[in-house]
Chains A and B, each alone.
Chain A
C-alpha cells in the first residue's frame, strides 16, 4: 500500500533557528513529491520535486529529493514566527491522486 511518512510530527523552535523536516515514501510508479504549507486555510504550494539531487529554493526555504533512498527534506533557515504552520508532504504515483503524510506542525517562538 502506498504511504508517506513525515517526521517529526511536531517541532518547536525559536526565531532564527534552522529546521529540517523529513518525508519518506513508498509509492508505486512515483511521479513527483510536493511540499505544501497549511496555516488556517488552504494548503499553499511550496515545491514540486521530480528529479533526485536537484535542490529547489525559494527565499529561506529549500528542498531536495533522493529517489534512491525514497525521501525528501524541507529546510527553513532563519525561521520567523510567520513560518509557524503545518507542513505537508504529498506524493503522486501512477495517477494524479496525491497521497499525503500526516504533516509536521512547526511552531516558531519569538
Chain B
C-alpha cells in the first residue's frame, strides 16, 4: 500500500509570492491534516480536512489555507510568503478521521523563502 505522498519535495520562493503544496493520502484514508515543522516551534497543527470540509484549524494566520477534493487529496496554499514561513510542511492521513486511528505522515515539502 502506498504511503502518504507529498509534492513537491523542495520549493524555493521569495517573499510576497504564494505557494501551493499537494498531498495524496493513503488509499482509503479520508482525513488529511497539515503540520508545520520548524526548529524553534517543532510540529504545529495547521488544519484538518475530512470529506472535503475543514474540520479543525490551528492558530495560523489567514494566509494559510487549504482544501480537500472528492478523492481525499488535499492542497495547502500560503499567500504573501514571509521569511518565517520557511519550514518543513508535513501532511498526515488517517482512516475516517477517527480519533483512535493513528495519523501517518508523508515525507513533507521543504519550503525555503529567500
A41 interface residue, CB < 8 Å from B?
A: yes
Instruction: Say which one of A17-25, A70-78, A99-107 lies at the interface with B.
Output: A99-107
A95 interface residue, CB < 8 Å from B?
A: yes
Interface residues of A in 35-66 (CB under 8 A from B): 36, 41-45, 48, 50
Q: How far is the CB of A67 from chain B (nearest CB, A)?
A: 15
Contacts of B52 in A (CB 8 A): none
Q: Is the CB of B102 within 8 A of A48?
A: yes
Say yes or no: A97-B107 contact (C-beta < 8 A), given A43-B90, A48-B102.
Answer: no
B66 interface residue, CB < 8 Å from A?
A: no
Among candidates B55, B56, B105, residue contacting A42 with C-beta atoms closer than 8 Å: B105
CA distance A103 to B41 in the complex (A): 11
Among candidates B92, B99, B107, residue contacting A41 with C-beta atoms closer than 8 Å: B107
CA distance A22 to B69 in the complex (A): 39
Q: Is the CB of A45 within 8 A of B56?
A: no
Q: Is the CB of B99 within 8 A of A32?
A: yes
Interface residues of B in 70-94 (CB under 8 A from A): 90, 92, 94
Q: How far is the CB of A101 from chain B (nearest CB, A)?
A: 7
A14 interface residue, CB < 8 Å from B?
A: no
Residues of A in contact, count (CB < 8 Å): 23
Among candidates A32, A92, A97, A103, residue contacting B42 with C-beta atoms closer than 8 Å: A103
Contacts of B100 in A (CB 8 A): 31-32, 48, 50
Q: How far is the CB of A91 from chain B (nearest CB, A)?
A: 11
Known: A42-B90, A97-B48. 17 other contacts (CB 8 A): A31-B99, A31-B100, A34-B102, A36-B105, A41-B108, A42-B105, A42-B107, A42-B108, A43-B43, A44-B105, A45-B104, A88-B43, A96-B97, A96-B99, A97-B56, A98-B92, A98-B103
Residues of B participating in the A interface, judged by any CB pair closer than 8 Å: 3-4, 31, 33, 35, 42-45, 48, 50, 55-56, 58, 90, 92, 94, 97, 99-100, 102-108
Smallest CB-CB A-B distances: 5 pairs: A100-B43, A42-B105, A41-B107, A31-B99, A97-B45
